[in-house]
Amino acid sequence: MSDKVKGPERSAISNTRQRKWARRRLIALGALFLLLVLVAGLWAYYLRTRKPLSAALPPAPAVAQAFKPHYLFSIYGVDRPLGIALSPDGRYIYVTESAGERLIKVFDREGQFIRSFAVPDTRPAERAPVYVAVDSYGRVYVTDRRRFALYVFDADGNLLRVFSPPQGEEFWTPLGVNVVNDEILVTEVTREQHRVMVFDLEGRLKTVFGREGRENGEFWFPNAVVRDEEGNFYVSDGNNGRLQVLDPEGNFLYALRGLNLPRGLAIDTEKRLFLVDAVAHQVRVFSLASQPIVALYEFGDIGMGDGEFRYPNDIAVDLTGRLYITDRENNRIQVWSY
Amino acid sequence: MRRWACSLLVGLLAMLVLPRPGWADNGPHEGTFTKTTDACAQCHRAHRGQGPGLLAGDLVTTQQARVLIDTSQINLCFSCHGSAATGADTNVEDGIYMNRASGGQFGVPGAGLRGGGFVNALMDPDFTGTPTAAPVTSKHDVGVPGMIVWGLGSSGVGHVTSSQRATLQCSSCHNPHGFANADRYRILRDDLPCAGCHDIQQQKGRLSQASMPTDATHQLAARLNTAIPDERPPYYTIRYTPDGYRDVSYLDERISEWCAGCHTRYLATGTDPSGDAVFAYRHRTTAQELTCLVCHVAHGTTATMGRFSGDVEWPDGTPGGGTTDSRLLHVSNRGVCYPCHPAP
């Protein structure tokens, strides 16, 4: 009953309401639009000013680290290269291949092919050289994942010796190798015991730590390990997507997480740590000037052009500020410089 | 209009605030990876907010915007499963299990993988007693566009339509994300692309049993949606029964139906002729001891063919390719037949 009476009144009210509403909506829309323009403007401003800002910084020593390296040129003639290392004087580049003939190839600084070699008496399908390192005497260390071995060659590629598994162990699975301060730093990935091993140049085991897992101080396919001047260890913990930092005794300090697939590592004389992220298609650069270390910047992106990577894997740095990076799926070595 | 503006605004704000959207759901290769969001990064790039597609919530757009994977997915998988096995022990490029510690569920120390390999394989196709590593003579050609999916489609459709061509990826057969609530043998897809008749990109991973039509082809598809049980055996090398034929007791006979998810007309009960012009008479493939994997490997083989075996033409009439035309057979010539049908 009362509904009938109130009917028209109500519609009148709702009419004015509607008008009010429409006005309000207009205002709200306008405000929203303004906000939108503002945000978009800010964003555009941010995007535009971001780069010039950093480039305009004065080259004070502390800030020098903010400068990114630039692309120089590429060395071709390698088949899906993985590992890379330099001779002590920086004149020769050693690279391992993971496809084709699977050789260790040597180039000079200008990219001229010098020679190639492999483990004697093996066919390509029977070998898998992965990482390579050179000591201060010019001896070349190569891990072979397929042959479960760490080989030592002279600078010309003649086989000198084969590292045997640690005492009391039947076999091992060396994966990564780096030589830092006359120490051979090896990552080992036998099932359940993914770990870091430190040898002296005679092959005596000095330190060993870690096992397979995801907890702090555990590793899952660690691909590389390097040490800084204080003796701290930096381990690229591949499948765990993190960089672990451990003290000189191998005790866990902290980890940088959220990396994609960290692989090769190198430290230069400017206290910069370089980490190759295979799946981010980038090299990430950190400053070791303070602890915990600080991320500086990253360079590279996916692609086939100059300075672009497809699954980069390892890096080597020389004393002149040159960087050599294996660009696996582009079948080349990229040379960058500061 | 307002809603549109609002969502755009929210989108823009999110672009500024969020470095990356949070992901939940199951981790990759479930069973070997834990369910942490961290795990996605191994295959998906940490993106830097390029593009509104990131926020759309549409999986396909999202995939295009954020999946780092370039045109050939094999590169991603080989970053771990490649010849140097830098992130896994199963080296599918060389077809070998790259660990010497025993007891793993994925392989026998230093032995060949069950699937063979994509570049080399460690096999003994000539029964010499010693498996040797050699380049493969045939393989499922991952990443090559326009390959004919032999036998796809129902009786009578022949091999002519472009819809029967497809590009295989590792993820055509495997689900790199694993399964949330089930343990599937080798994380094999339970929702095959069925590429020929359906667009391989569109249907993948998005079919449910409920929406399946009821003709013969699709009844098969429905059955495929039930899981192949995971029976990881203690031994991994390709074993032979006392009679000498390949032991596939580790697999359910449904693996035949699984392969037939693409090679439809190879699934045969032996009640032929089938009425199909090309596949008129077919060897039975529907018994536990006669699954596809009794005669074939899944990835690639080193077997070689003799004069007659190498001459067998392809279903579309293309002449056989000679000694290296091994069609994924795991034994040279027609050695796969001999154990069950010895010389009279």
| pLDDT tens digits along A271-329 | 999 999 998 889 999 999 999 999 999 999 888 899 999 899 999 999 999 999 999 99
Q: Which two tokens stand for residue A336?
A: 């960058």
Q: Which region holds residue A37: left if phi is over 0, alpha if psi is between -120 and 50, else beta? A: alpha
The percent of residues above 90 in pLDDT, for chain A, comes to 70
For residue A291, tell me if it sits in a domain.
Answer: yes
Residue A322, C-beta contacts closer than 8 angstroms, at least 6 positions apart = A72, A90, A109, A335, A336, A337, A338
Find the distance separating the first CA and the last CA of chain A, reported in whole Å: 88
For residue B144, tell me if it sits in a domain.
Answer: yes
* Pair A17, A109 in one domain: no
Residue A165 structural domain: 72-337
For residue B299, tell me if it sits in a domain.
Answer: yes
B134 chain-A contacts, CB cut-off 8 A = 125
| CATH number of the CATH domain containing A102 | 2.120.10.30
Please check the confidence at residue B38 and state whether its pLDDT lies above 80.
no
Q: CB B41 to CB A279 under 8 A? A: yes
For residue A179, tell me if it sits in a domain.
Answer: yes
| pLDDT at position B322 | 92
Q: CB A82 to CB B5 under 8 A? A: no
| pLDDT at position B227 | 57
Judge whether A205 is closer than 8 Å to chain B, CB to CB: no
What is the band of A177 on the pLDDT scale with cuts at 50, 70, 90? very high
What is the band of A117 on the pLDDT scale with cuts at 50, 70, 90? very high
Note which residues in 266-285 of chain A have CB less than 8 A from chain B.
278-281
What would the mean pLDDT of B247-275 be, rounded to a whole number?
Answer: 78
Cα B108 from Cα B90, distance rounded (Å)? 10
Q: Which residue of B has its CA nearest to A330?
A: B75
For residue A2, tell me if it sits in a domain.
Answer: no
Between vectors from CA A71 to CA A68 and to CA A73, what angle results, nearest 5°? Answer: 160
For residue A66, tell me if it sits in a domain.
Answer: no
Please check the confidence at residue B73 and state whether its pLDDT lies above 60.
yes
**Which residue among A33, A148, A280 sits closest to B100, beta carbon to beta carbon?**
A148
| pLDDT at position A189 | 94
Residue B241, C-beta contacts closer than 8 angstroms, at least 6 positions apart = B247, B339
* Pair A94, A222 in one domain: yes
B2 chain-A contacts, CB cut-off 8 A = 25, 28-29, 32
Integer CA distances (angstroms), A284 to A236, A295, B71, B211, in order: 12, 8, 24, 47
| pLDDT at position A312 | 95
A281 chain-B contacts, CB cut-off 8 A = 45, 68
For residue B46, tell me if it sits in a domain.
Answer: no
Among A245-249, B170-174, B178-182, name the one with the lowest average pLDDT.
Answer: B178-182
Which of the pair, A272 or B59, is modelled with greater confidence? Answer: A272
Note which residues in 47-86 of chain A have CB less than 8 A from chain B.
82
- Residue A46: count of CB within 10 angstroms of its CB: 11
* Pair A103, A17 in one domain: no
| pLDDT at position B204 | 36
Residue B271, C-beta contacts closer than 8 angstroms, at least 6 positions apart = none
Please name every residue paired with A285 in a beta bridge, in sequence order, or none if there are none.
A274, A297
* Pair A50, A144 in one domain: no
- Residue A93: count of CB within 10 angstroms of its CB: 25
What would the mean pLDDT of B166-176 be, rounded to a whole number?
Answer: 79
For residue A152, tell me if it sits in a domain.
Answer: yes
Judge whether B101 is closer than 8 Å to chain A, CB to CB: yes
Q: Which two tokens stand for residue B324?
A: 């290296």
Please check the confidence at residue B17 and state whether its pLDDT lies above 60.
no
Which of the pair, A10 or B103, is modelled with greater confidence? Answer: B103
* Pair A154, A25 in one domain: no
For residue A255, tell me if it sits in a domain.
Answer: yes
Residue A166: helix, strand or coil by DSSP?
coil
Which of the pair, B305 or B343, is modelled with greater confidence? Answer: B305
> Shortest CA distance to B164 belongs to which of B298, B262, B255?
B262
* Pair A20, A133 in one domain: no
| pLDDT at position A233 | 97
**Which residue among B70, B79, B83 sits closest to A261, beta carbon to beta carbon?**
B79
| pLDDT at position A135 | 95
* Pair A180, A288 in one domain: yes
Domain count along chain A: 2
For residue B330, tell me if it sits in a domain.
Answer: yes
Phi, psi of B262, rounded to the nearest 5 degrees = -110, -45
Task: Render pLDDT for A136-150 as a digit per residue (tens, 0 to 9).
Answer: 999 999 999 999 999
* Chain A: closest CA distance from residue B9 (Å): 6
Most B CBs within 10 A among A122, A131, A191, A221, hence the mutation to make, goes to A191
Please check the confidence at residue B213 and state whether its pLDDT lies above 60.
no
| pLDDT at position B16 | 38
**Which residue among A25, A128, A193 sits closest to B83, beta carbon to beta carbon?**
A128
Please check the confidence at residue B118 and state whether its pLDDT lies above 50.
yes
| pLDDT at position B34 | 43
Judge whether A241 is closer than 8 Å to chain B, CB to CB: yes
Quote the radius of gyration of chain B (alpha carbons, Å).
Answer: 22
* Pair A223, A283 in one domain: yes
**Eight-state DSSP code of residue B318:** P
| pLDDT at position A250 | 95
Most A CBs within 10 A among B12, B36, B66, B86, hence the mutation to make, goes to B86
Q: CB A260 to CB B120 under 8 A? A: no
A36 chain-B contacts, CB cut-off 8 A = 5, 8-9, 12
User: How large is the ipTM?
Assistant: 0.78
Q: CB A40 to CB B12 under 8 A? A: yes
B89 chain-A contacts, CB cut-off 8 A = 191
Note which residues in 155-194 of chain A have CB less than 8 A from chain B.
170-171, 173, 175, 189-193
Judge whether B67 is closer than 8 Å to chain A, CB to CB: no
Judge whether A147 is closer than 8 Å to chain B, CB to CB: no
For residue B9, tell me if it sits in a domain.
Answer: no
Answer for the pair B327, B295: CB distance below 8 angstroms, yes or no. no
* Pair A172, A52 in one domain: no
Cα A131 from Cα A145, distance rounded (Å)? 9
Domain count along chain B: 1
* Pair A176, A306 in one domain: yes
Q: Which two tokens stand for residue A131?
A: 């990482």
What would the mean pLDDT of A92-115 be, rounded to a whole number?
Answer: 96
A107: exposed, middle or buried (C-beta count within 10 Å: 0-12, 13-18, 19+)?
buried
Residue B278: helix, strand or coil by DSSP?
coil
DSSP sequence for B154-202: STT-TT--GGGEE---HHHHB-TT--SS--BGGGB-SS---TTTS-HHH
For residue A208, tell me if it sits in a domain.
Answer: yes
* Pair A205, A77 in one domain: yes
| pLDDT at position B37 | 45
| Most confident of the ranges A23-37, A272-286, B193-207 | A272-286
> Shortest CA distance to B302 belongs to which of B166, B119, B154?
B119
Please check the confidence at residue A22 and state whether its pLDDT lies above 90.
no
Answer for the pair A249, A210: CB distance below 8 angstroms, yes or no. no
* Pair A192, A233 in one domain: yes
| pLDDT at position A309 | 92
For residue B33, tell me if it sits in a domain.
Answer: no
| pLDDT at position B193 | 47
* Chain B: closest CA distance from residue A39 (Å): 7
| pLDDT at position B224 | 54
* Chain A: closest CA distance from residue B134 (Å): 6
| pLDDT at position B283 | 84
Answer for the pair B152, B197: CB distance below 8 angstroms, yes or no. yes
Residue B175 structural domain: 61-204+212-335
What is the band of A9 on the pLDDT scale with cuts at 50, 70, 90? low
Phi, psi of B176, rounded to the nearest 5 degrees = -60, -15
Q: Which two tokens stand for residue A81?
A: 């290269």
Q: CB A280 to CB B46 under 8 A? A: yes
> Shortest CA distance to B79 belongs to which of A134, A276, A267, A119?
A276
* Chain A: closest CA distance from residue B49 (Å): 12
For residue B326, tell me if it sits in a domain.
Answer: yes
Task: Render pLDDT for B273-327 as a digit per residue (tens, 0 to 9).
Answer: 777 877 878 888 877 778 888 899 999 999 999 988 999 999 888 899 999 999 9
- Residue B249: count of CB within 10 angstroms of its CB: 12
* Chain A: closest CA distance from residue B104 (Å): 8
For residue A309, tell me if it sits in a domain.
Answer: yes
Find the distance separating the first CA and the last CA of chain B, reported in whole Å: 81
A192 chain-B contacts, CB cut-off 8 A = 101
Judge whether A32 is closer than 8 Å to chain B, CB to CB: yes
DSSP sequence for B55-91: GS--HHHHHHHH----S-THHHHHHHHSTT-SS-SEE
What is the overall mean pLDDT for chain A?
88
Please check the confidence at residue B57 and state whether its pLDDT lies above 90.
no
Return the H-helix or E-strand segment holding B256.
Answer: helix B254-259
Note which residues in 108-167 of chain B have CB less than 8 A from chain A.
119-120, 133-135
Cα B57 from Cα B179, distance rounded (Å)? 21
What would the mean pLDDT of B188-202 be, rounded to a whole number?
Answer: 51
Q: CB B45 to CB A175 under 8 A? A: no
**Eight-state DSSP code of residue A217:** T
Judge whether A99 is closer than 8 Å to chain B, CB to CB: yes
What would the mean pLDDT of B121-147 be, rounded to a whole number?
Answer: 88
| pLDDT at position B50 | 29
Please check the confidence at residue B240 and state whether its pLDDT lies above 50.
yes
| pLDDT at position A162 | 94
Quote the radius of gyration of chain A (alpha carbons, Å).
Answer: 28
Judge whether B39 is closer than 8 Å to chain A, CB to CB: yes
A26 chain-B contacts, CB cut-off 8 A = none
Please check the confidence at residue B22 and state whether its pLDDT lies above 90.
no
> Shortest CA distance to A149 belongs to which of B10, B298, B98?
B98
What is the band of B131 on the pLDDT scale with cuts at 50, 70, 90? confident
Q: CB B9 to CB A25 under 8 A? A: no
* Chain B: closest CA distance from residue A191 (Å): 6
Answer for the pair B47, A301: CB distance below 8 angstroms, yes or no. no
Q: CB B100 to CB A43 under 8 A? A: no
